[in-house]
Every structure is written in structure tokens, then in C-alpha cells.
Chains A and B, each alone.
Chain A
Amino acid sequence: MPLRCFGMVAPGKQQRNNELKIAFTTSGAALDAPLDGRFGRAPRFLIYDLDADTFEVINNEQNLNAAQGAGIQSAQTITQSGAKAIITGHCGPKAFRALRAAGVAIYNADAPTISAALDQYRNGELVESDDADVEGHWI
């Protein structure tokens, strides 16, 4: 982990727990797009870089239509993106275990859009989840 000088970061943009990139679940492709309530079967992930204030969008369509294991595979996708936190509506038990094992922090948010959820995150209004908040879909 490279050393970082937190004194250089502007007020209101302080990183929490070295979460440099955070992921959002969405059906859209921009910051004003709705936050999707599903994690494993979210159509897309928006990966936001808190340092650079830039983002990229990752397609998750193949998991949207997966018969099973969507949450686990989505957790792998998030890990590969380099995101250290995920902000989503709900997270099932298998996805939760996988994200935990990968060291990704999970925040449940009910904000209507990504930008609103991002504001909540920056303002410290989101609490890191310590358990799955919905049942699995398969069994």
C-alpha cells in the first residue's frame, strides 16, 4: 500500500479506510442515473475514483441473467475493478461473504441516484453493513 498524504486532500473529500475507488450499482451510465437496489443482478456497476473524480462503467448483464451465483460473480467483478467499497440497495448472503473475503466494504443506501448516494457517503451518512440484509434468491 503506497503512503498517502491525507493533508493534501480537500475538506469534504477525505478518504475513509483507504477507499480510493467505490462502486455503485446502477441501470444507467452517469452520476445522475438511479442507484439500483440489487447487487448481484445489477445491470451495471459505476466505479468512481475519489481521487480523480472520474468514473468508469462496467457491464454486468451476464450476471443479470445468470441462473445462480450472480452475487458471487458480481463480487469478483467488483474486486477486479479495484473498488474497495460498494454502495448498493441490498446485498444477499453469498455476495456478502464473497465481498467480505475480498475486503470490500458494503454500504446499503436508499438514495435515488448515484450522485445522491455519493454525497451521503462523503458526508459520512452511510454505515458499513455487517451482515446480508436480504435472503438469497436461490434457496
Chain B
Amino acid sequence: MILAVASGKGGTGKTTVSANMARALDVDAQLLDCDVEEPNAHLFLRGEVLDTEVVGIPTPQVDPSLCDGCNACGAFCEYSAIVSFGKAPILFPEMCHGCGGCMKVCPRGAITEKDRRIGVLETFQSHNVMLTHGRLDVGVAMAPPLIRAVKGKMRGDAAAILDAPPGTSCPVIATLRGVDYALLVTEPTPFGLHDLRLAVAMTREINIPFGVLVNRVGVGDDRVQRFCDQENIPILMEIPDDRGIAEAHSRGQLMVDALPEYKERFQALFESIENLTRENPDGKSE
């Protein structure tokens, strides 16, 4: 099963939930930290670095002696990464999404590709968990290609848990595409509810079955729970606002290590999601 842990609001506990769930499983698990702008699961799952890999995206280069300035490339490019004003095109590599379209539409074969580095992948082994994360280079603003590279490390022979970036924009969509289930982590506050609504709308739009985990229950009110009731969204787990959890977290300790009762709770959470995806293999949680 491929499970993504996502949220609208940042700081609700995606990494806490995904790292603890992965560790709680008694079998081999893969954790893929898709928050490539700020990966942090490795802070809780310290382990040996097994592998490092540089990731690039193909960007165009133009042979001016072959170019006749027709601007077929510029007309094609959705992101204005290449544009010609009657002579050899000028390039904006930082805008290029690496689709290769300019090279295909060039009638004179003047465009070739070369890789532009955007970041690195690192893989760690920590007990039963193989953690892979991406680290986007400073100054690079395009996360989805690196997220796809992180997801490319899924082996398929172990449960995969994807720790998504916060929000509802392209990096989150890139993470959620193709997963079996999304667990939306929120907190019972007005901000939590507001951003949960956005996350619910997004997840429905891309047709991925989902449920909610409410973290830090007790800090706010019950509007998140009432919203989930009204919308028939299952709340799969509630974690109380507990000083013991916060203290463990601040030491970089996993809940399942510091508070052993959570090991069973996270195992049960994972099993309940597995059962939900088995009941509904083609999507639609409602």
C-alpha cells in the first residue's frame, strides 16, 4: 500500500505521524519524505546514509548555427523558458520544467538537452525503516521533479509512507498522485479547520480516498470533528495535546519509543487504512 500523509496547514504533525507509523510497523517499511524544500523526517529516524544521488532536469541548449529564429519552441513552451525574437532563442533555465517539448517541435533539430542539477536524493536505513528524502538545492524553486525522483525510489515490496509537503499546491499534488490513500493531519483550531477544508477539496478533486487524523486534541474546539461529521469523513485517530509527546518531540525522539502505548495505536491506524483501501480498491472513500 502507498499511503500519503498530508495536510493543508503546516506544523500539524505530518512528519510525526508518518515517522511514527513507519517505525511502529513490525515489518520493513519505506518512508519517503517528499517535503524536498525542508525535509525533516531524518531528524527523528537517524540512520546510516546508504546512498546519495544527484537529480537534474533536462533543459534545452540551442545550436545557433542551426536555428532560424522561427520561435516554434517559444510558442510551445508553457513557462516561457525559451523564447526567440527572430534569432537564436534566449533561455531561462530556471523556468524550465524539463518536458522536452521545445526539442520535439524544433523543425531544424537545433535543440538538444543537458541536465540542470536541482537537488539530491539521500537514502538512510534506520531499524525497519528505509528513509529516502530529496533535498532541493538553494535557489531552485521547482520541487515537483525532485518529488517525482523521491517517489521513483519506491520499491513496491514494502509498505510506502509518503510524508507530503504542507499546502495544496503543485508539490502536494505531485506527492499525492498515484497513492492508494491520503491521511490528512489537522489540529482542532480555526486555522486547522480552514486549511483542512482546502486539503479535503484538493484530495476530492484528484479523487484519492482519504481520512483525517486530528492532532493535539484539546487545544481548540470541536469544529474540525463537526466538519468531518457533516462531510462523512472518517476520523481515523485522535492524538491528545500531551506534554509527554511534546517533550519527546523536542528531544528528537519518536512517540513510539518514548511512549510505548503509541506503537499499538499507530499499528492499528495503519491496519485500519489498509482495510479501507482493500474495501474500496478503486478510490472514493465516501
Residue of B nearest to A71 (CB): B80
Complex interface: chain A residues within 8 A of B80 (CB): 69, 72-73, 76, 94
A72-B80, A72-B83 given; A98·B90 CB < 8 A: yes
CB neighbors of B among A82-120 (8 A): 94, 97-98, 101-103
Known: A101-B85, A102-B85, A103-B85. A68 touches B90 (CB 8 A): no
Q: In the bound complex, how far is the Cα of B83 from the Cα of A97, in angstroms?
A: 11
Q: Are B141 and A138 in contact (CB under 8 A)?
A: yes
Any B CB within 8 A of the CB of A59: no
B227 touches A (CB below 8 Å) = no
Binary interface encoding of chain A residues 53-94 relative to chain B, with 1 for a CB under 8 A from any of its CBs, else 0: 000000000000000110011011001000000000000001
Q: Is the CB of B83 within 8 A of A76?
A: yes
Interface residues in B130-187 (C-beta closer than 8 Å to A): 139, 141
**B141, A69: Cβ atoms closer than 8 Å:** no
Total B residues in contact with A, Cβ cutoff 8 Å: 13
Known contacts A98-B83, A103-B85; A72/B92 CB under 8 A: yes
User: What residues of B have a CB within 8 angstroms of the CB of A68 in the complex?
Assistant: 79, 95
Instruction: Determine whether the beta carbon of A139 is less than 8 Å from that of B85.
Output: no
Q: Which residue of B lies closest to A63 (CB)?
A: B80
Q: CA separation between A94 and B93, bound complex, in Å?
A: 11
Contact assessment for B95 and A69 in the assembled complex, using a CB-CB cutoff below 8 Å: yes
Q: Which A7-64 residues have a C-beta within 8 angstroms of B?
A: none
Rounded to whole angstroms, the CA-CA distance of A102 and B84 in the bound complex is 8
Q: Which of B79, B83, B87, B94 has the most CB of A within 10 A?
A: B83
Query: Closest residue of chain A to B86, judged by CB?
Result: A102
Interface Cβ pair total, 8 Å cutoff: 36
Q: Is B39 an interface residue, CB under 8 A from the partner?
A: no
User: A23 CB to closest chain B CB, in angstroms?
Assistant: 15
Residues of A within 8 A of B139 (CB): 139
| A76 CB contact (under 8 Å) in B74, B87, B92 | B74
Q: Which B residues are CB-close (under 8 A) to A79?
A: 85
Contact B92 A94 (CB under 8 A): yes
Residues of A within 8 Å of B141, CB to CB, are 138-139
Contacts of B79 in A (CB 8 A): 68-69
Which residues from 184 to 230 on chain B have a C-beta closer than 8 Å to any C-beta of chain A?
Answer: none
Enumerate chain A residues within 8 angstroms of B85, measured Cβ to Cβ. 76, 79, 98, 101-103
Which of A73, A101, A103, A139 lies in contact with B90, CB distance below 8 A?
Answer: A101
Contacts of A98 in B (CB 8 A): 83, 85, 90
With A and B bound together, what is the CA distance between A75 and B94 in angstroms? 18
What B residues does A73 contact at CB under 8 A? 80
* Complex Cα–Cα for A97 and B90 (A): 8
B83-127 with Cβ < 8 A to chain A: 83, 85, 87, 90, 92, 94-95
| Chain A to chain B contacts (Cβ below 8 Å), 23 pairs | A68-B79, A69-B79, A69-B80, A69-B81, A69-B92, A69-B95, A72-B80, A72-B92, A72-B95, A73-B80, A75-B83, A76-B80, A76-B83, A79-B85, A94-B92, A94-B95, A97-B92, A101-B85, A101-B87, A102-B85, A103-B85, A138-B141, A139-B141
Residues of B within 8 A of A (CB): 74, 79-81, 83, 85, 87, 90, 92, 94-95, 139, 141
Closest 6 CB pairs of A and B: A69-B80, A72-B80, A102-B85, A101-B90, A139-B141, A101-B85
Beyond A76-B74, A94-B80, A139-B139, 18 additional contacts (C-beta under 8 Å) are A68-B79, A68-B95, A69-B79, A69-B80, A69-B95, A72-B95, A75-B83, A76-B80, A76-B85, A79-B85, A94-B92, A94-B95, A97-B90, A98-B83, A101-B85, A102-B85, A103-B85, A138-B141
